A = this chain, B = another copy of it.
Amino acid sequence: MVTLAEVAKHAGVSASTVSYVLSGKRSISSPTRERVEKAISELGYHPNAGARALAGKRSHIIALVVPLRTDVYVPIMMEIAISVTVAARSHGYDVLLITNDEGPEGVRRVAASGLADGVILMDVELDDARIPVLRETGTHAALIGLPADTRGLACVDHDFAGAGALCAEHLADLGHQDIAFIGYAPGVYQRHAGYAERTLSGFRERAAQRGLRVLHRPCEGSYESTAGALSRILADRPATTGFVVQNEGAIGPLLSLLRTSGRVVPEDASVVALCPDPLAEQYSPRLTAVTGPAHELGRQAVALVMNRLDDRPTAEVSLLTPVLTPRESSGPAPVR
């Protein structure tokens, strides 16, 4: 193993000079710097992470706590995880993956051991058990998602309420009056997942403003449950012409079922999905969809943690604006 001392000897300077060349924390004359850099690359030197962490009091690692649950759309989680990792690297940080089966103690473990300098929590619940640990240990953290009490916490999330409102707005503009909202599984609402509730309430509120009639149906996301939800919708409100879907599993079945029931999209029924654009593009017809910038979530979460590490003040909550992309699945309400 190549050490800093060996580099120093090879370059004919002292160890501290090499260290300072690396950290840039004091000015070095060009000739010295070049000799050191040459030595570094000739010897293939890589600073020892453990020693650096011990002496420098910073591991240059942040922990990313991911949920084990799979009822959230997995590709999005992955996209966020990857954007977090890439963003962290651009700050000279690495990312440690922590699964939520360790529970709140996982957070304590990585923070108290100095394994990680900061923590990013994904899939934050309204009353998240990891938050007390954060407060208690004073861990630098950023949350992806909104807990009930955000005081003193840095949070980023999609503006789900805005996304819901956007759906209502779009369908109202197209003249639809009866809208069904096909949502996540009942359990998601029962555990008061913030994103599900916020989307729904944003949607309901705007729908009310625009005088729309609204029906909300939770749905497991399987073909059968979608069929059940749809048939109940059509039984209860035969005049329904607009559908908002916030459940990736229900999209395919819904389109099939509408087709089977003789409804042509978008002539007879409009569909707006709350889902990532690549997914929306896969269907036929391509779906009008509302999406938030997933990779931006990761970037901002990392930025928040970095700010706190350098104790720079940051806004507590930042909500990312969703975008509605009109595609082929939505059109003017049919004339009666």
Contacts and interface: CB of A to CB of B under 8 A. Distances in A.
Interface of A: 1-2, 44, 46-54, 59, 61, 64, 66, 68, 70, 74-75, 77-78, 81-82, 85-86, 89, 94-99, 101-102, 108-110, 112-115, 221-224, 227, 249, 252-253, 255-256, 259, 278, 281-284
A253 B78 CA distance: 24
A96 B50 CA distance: 14
B97 A81 contact: yes
- Please tell me how many copies of the chain the complex holds: 2
The 4 A-B pairs with the shortest beta carbon distances in the complex, nearest first, are A50-B53, A223-B284, A46-B112, A50-B54
Nearest to A61: B96
B78 A94 contact: no
Contacts of A259: 256
Contacts of A255: 256
A82 B68 contact: yes
Contact of A78 (B78, B85, B114): B78
A224 B221 CA distance: 24
Contacts of A47: 113
Contacts of A253: 284
Given A78-B74, A82-B99, A249-B282, A48 B114 contact: yes
Name the residue in A70, A112, A224, A259 with the highest tally of chain B Cβ atoms < 10 Å from its Cβ: A112
